[in-house]
Copies of this chain bind each other. A is one copy, B any other.
Amino acid sequence: MFDYKLLFALAAVVEQGGFERAAVALGLSQSAVSQRIKLLEARVGQPVLVRATPPQPTELGRHLLNHIQQVRLLERDLTELVPTLSEGGGPERLRIAINADTLATWWAPAVAEFCAAQRVLLDHVVEDQEVGLKRMRAGEVAACVCASERPVAGARSVLLGAMRYRALASPGFIARYFPRGVTSEALAHSPAIVFGPDDSLQHRYLESLGVSGNFAHHLCPSAEGFVCLASAGLGWGLVPELQAVGELARGELVELLPDRPVDVPLYWHYWRNGGALLDELTRQLLHRAKSLLVHQRAPD
């Protein structure tokens, strides 16, 4: 049997992003946490942490974290049967990697009831799809919402539906940059807004209109900031329809070209042996997503 005191110290250091915070979370001194990590490393015969800021798990460390994550979820199921078994009090935490646009739109109404009924606290980690899955593989999160279908080993992925994006800009921006209509040429010369280096929605939209290559763009890695920049007339960009309901109704944002949406499928990844809690969340998410997202058939 593993010594879980040592393993939980490792989890705390990685999840809290440091020894000092891990110590606070565990109610231990910092040197006690260091001691546990050293003991763990002595036992496995190699480092489990790279001492950077914040500390990073080594490959072996990631395997251990992955194991802890699943043990915790299984523990919860057992605790419901045998409540006295658990030492720690308080509600359960679920760590979930999620894309920014999901967190900014349909996520909260979809999980509110589940969190209240199950007394669950959520730790959201905002990541683009590939990074989210990497964190899942590393055992740092229990589940992940992203646009990539392929599940990581030991996990399942299910299609939730699609997020509908529309290319939006302010009326003032359109009057200024597209006085003779939204032509491909004018689009190539008007500033866009891009979420970050991994956001290719604007590129794809331009390509679908025959505009290729580099284009001028602001970078704005914030879902709300993105809409603010567009509304203030700094650029055009693809915004989740759900996020701009008010702006569209008030005419603060308008679609560049009439009814030309881009649908991005969203998948829910979760550990196969994640226990009853994760299964229940999955069930509720699938149910709620039906009314919140655009229906999309899974690719054949």
A246–B246 contact, CB under 8 A?
yes
Q: Does A123 touch B at the CB level, under 8 Å?
A: yes
Q: Which of A147-155, A231-239, A279-287 contacts its partner?
A: A231-239
A121–B197 contact, CB under 8 A?
no
State in angstroms the CA–CA spacing of A224 and B224 once bound together.
6
State in angstroms the CA–CA spacing of A246 and B227 once bound together.
15
Give the oligomeric copy count. 2
Scan residues 61-117 of chain A and give those whose CB is less than 8 A from a CB of chain B. 90-91, 100, 103-105, 107-109, 111-112, 115-116
With A225-B103, A243-B224 given, is the CB distance from A197 to B16 under 8 Å?
yes
Partner of A115 from B16, B17, B234 at Cβ < 8 Å:
B234
Binary interface encoding of chain A residues 214-229 relative to chain B, with 1 for a CB under 8 A from any of its CBs, else 0 = 0011111111110011
B221–A124 contact, CB under 8 A?
yes
A91–B216 contact, CB under 8 A?
yes
A197–B232 contact, CB under 8 A?
no
B17–A197 contact, CB under 8 A?
yes
With A108-B234, A233-B112, A234-B111 given, is the CB distance from A124 to B219 under 8 Å?
yes
A103–B223 contact, CB under 8 A?
no
State in angstroms the CA–CA spacing of A51 and B108 once bound together.
38
Binding site for B on A (CB under 8 A): 16-17, 21, 90-91, 100, 103-105, 107-109, 111-112, 115-116, 121-126, 176, 191, 197, 216-225, 228-229, 231-234, 243, 246
